[in-house]
């Protein structure tokens, strides 16, 4: 048991050293981890209580705080947190007894490391604000997190914070993944496994991102031209491949598409199967998020 604890502490410190948020993570309140271990399970049923899960979730929270900070610079629109694992750390921190004067409260921490306080706002409250809904706030986070990772706003990738619950197998979290050029999510079971239909929020679609002012018309046009070029290249490659075969019937070409060209989730291949994916116009009952921030700098 002592060896296991020592190894976990070693991995914990190594993770912090390698994180781009190492300075902030190294200054987390000493009592936050034990408080999270004791109380997170009361709200987030089935959540693991090991230190490695905690520090990875805490890094996700730092990603979100930085997302809010960067969003503040370009208009201050509300952001939404797509990870329940990261949210569990935020909730524990807010609930940390302030009678312990040696503890650093979350507002002071954010002011020091991110230059602003970052209010915690429940989904229901954010949906009532004039600035927008949780679905739009989640789209703001998507675009900003991609930019924070040095990627295009319409990149065919899911930011690390969006995939955190899936990677940590967060009980009842959100399993985000790319299917072609669309980002969708599934609910996760108590065992941390994705299940049910994939929901593709309409606010993640390029045309909707333009409508809500998160990208520009030239950005959308560039994206559409690139998609058209990729589609044309794919058809050319497919045509060349088919012309070099000795297939004698049209049905054999259909078979090639069904068995050989079908790809795993994440491909934009036209032959890929969408499976049980839900209608792309649906945003889901919770939009794949439970909490957000109004980006207030007060």
For residue 269, count CB atoms less than 10 angstroms from its CB and return exposed for 0-12, middle for 13-18, buried for 19 or more: middle
Q: Which of the residue ranges 65-69, 76-80, 192-196 would you say has the lowest mean pLDDT?
A: 76-80
Residue 141 falls inside a structural domain? yes
For 220-232, how does the pLDDT look when each residue is reduced to its tens digit (9 = 90+)?
Answer: 999 999 888 888 8
Residue 246 falls inside a structural domain? no
Quote the CA–CA distance of 186 and 141 in Å, as a whole number: 18
Q: Kindly report the number of other CB atoms within 10 A of residue 194's CB atom.
A: 18
Under the banding of pLDDT at 50, 70 and 90, the label for residue 215 is very high
Residue 240 falls inside a structural domain? no
Task: Give the mean model confidence (pLDDT) for residues 83-93.
Answer: 96
Percent of the chain with pLDDT over 90: 61
Cross-sheet strand order for the sheet of 182-188: 174-179, 182-188, 194-199
For 160-177, how does the pLDDT look when each residue is reduced to its tens digit (9 = 90+)?
Answer: 999 999 999 999 999 999
Task: Give the mean model confidence (pLDDT) for residues 202-212.
Answer: 94
The pLDDT of residue 201 is above 80? yes
Residue 89 falls inside a structural domain? yes
For the chain, give the number of residues.
Answer: 298
β-strand partners of 126: none
pTM of the model: 0.79
For residue 165, count CB atoms less than 10 angstroms from its CB and return exposed for 0-12, middle for 13-18, buried for 19 or more: buried
Mean pLDDT of the chain: 81
Residue 247 CB contacts under 8 Å (≥ 6 apart), including other chains? 253, 256
Number of separate domains in the chain? 1
Residue 97: predicted pLDDT? 82
Residue 249: predicted pLDDT? 39
Residue 61: predicted pLDDT? 97
Single out the residue of 86, 102, 281 nearest to residue 201, CA to CA.
Answer: 281
Residue 5: predicted pLDDT? 79
Residue 125: predicted pLDDT? 76
Residue 232 falls inside a structural domain? no
The pLDDT of residue 86 is above 70? yes
Residue 235 falls inside a structural domain? no
For 220-271, how does the pLDDT look when each residue is reduced to its tens digit (9 = 90+)?
Answer: 999 999 888 888 887 777 665 544 444 433 333 333 333 333 333 333 333 3
Single out the residue of 87, 118, 95, 104 nearest to residue 29, CA to CA.
Answer: 104
Residue 58 falls inside a structural domain? yes
Quote the CA–CA distance of 136 and 141 in Å, as a whole number: 9
- Comparison of pLDDT for 82 and 101, the residue scoring more: 82
- φ/ψ (deg, to 5) at 173: -90, -155
Question: In which domain, by residue range, is 16 found?
Answer: 8-218+280-293
Residue 190 falls inside a structural domain? yes
């Amino acid at each position: 048991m002592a060896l296991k604890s020592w190894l976990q502490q070693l991995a914990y410190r190594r993770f912090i050293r390698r994180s781009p948020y190492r300075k902030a993570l190294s200054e987390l309140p000493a009592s936050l981890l034990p408080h999270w271990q004791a109380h997170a399970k009361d709200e987030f049923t089935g959540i693991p209580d090991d230190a490695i899960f905690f520090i990875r979730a805490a890094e996700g929270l730092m990603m979100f705080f930085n997302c809010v900070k960067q969003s503040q610079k370009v208009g201050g629109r509300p952001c939404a947190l797509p990870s329940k694992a990261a949210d569990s750390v935020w909730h524990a921190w807010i609930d940390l007894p302030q009678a312990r004067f040696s503890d650093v409260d979350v507002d002071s921490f954010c002011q020091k490391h991110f230059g602003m306080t970052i209010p915690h706002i429940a989904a229901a409250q954010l949906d009532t604000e004039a600035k927008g809904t949780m679905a739009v706030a989640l789209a703001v986070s998507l675009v900003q997190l991609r930019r924070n990772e040095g990627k295009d706003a319409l990149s065919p990738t899911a930011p690390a914070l969006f995939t955190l619950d899936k990677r940590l197998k967060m009980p009842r979290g959100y399993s985000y993944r790319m299917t072609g050029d669309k980002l969708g999510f599934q609910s996760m079971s108590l065992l941390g496994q994705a299940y049910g239909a994939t929901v593709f929020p309409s606010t993640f679609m390029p045309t909707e991102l333009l409508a809500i002012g998160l990208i520009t018309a030239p950005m959308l046009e560039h994206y559409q031209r690139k998609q058209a070029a990729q589609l044309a290249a794919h058809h050319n490659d497919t045509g060349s491949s088919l012309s070099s075969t000795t297939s004698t019937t049209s049905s054999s070409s259909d078979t090639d598409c069904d068995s050989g060209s079908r790809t795993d989730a994440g491909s934009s291949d036209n032959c890929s199967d969408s499976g049980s994916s839900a209608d792309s116009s649906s945003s889901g009952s919770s939009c794949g998020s439970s909490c957000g921030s109004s980006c207030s700098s007060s």
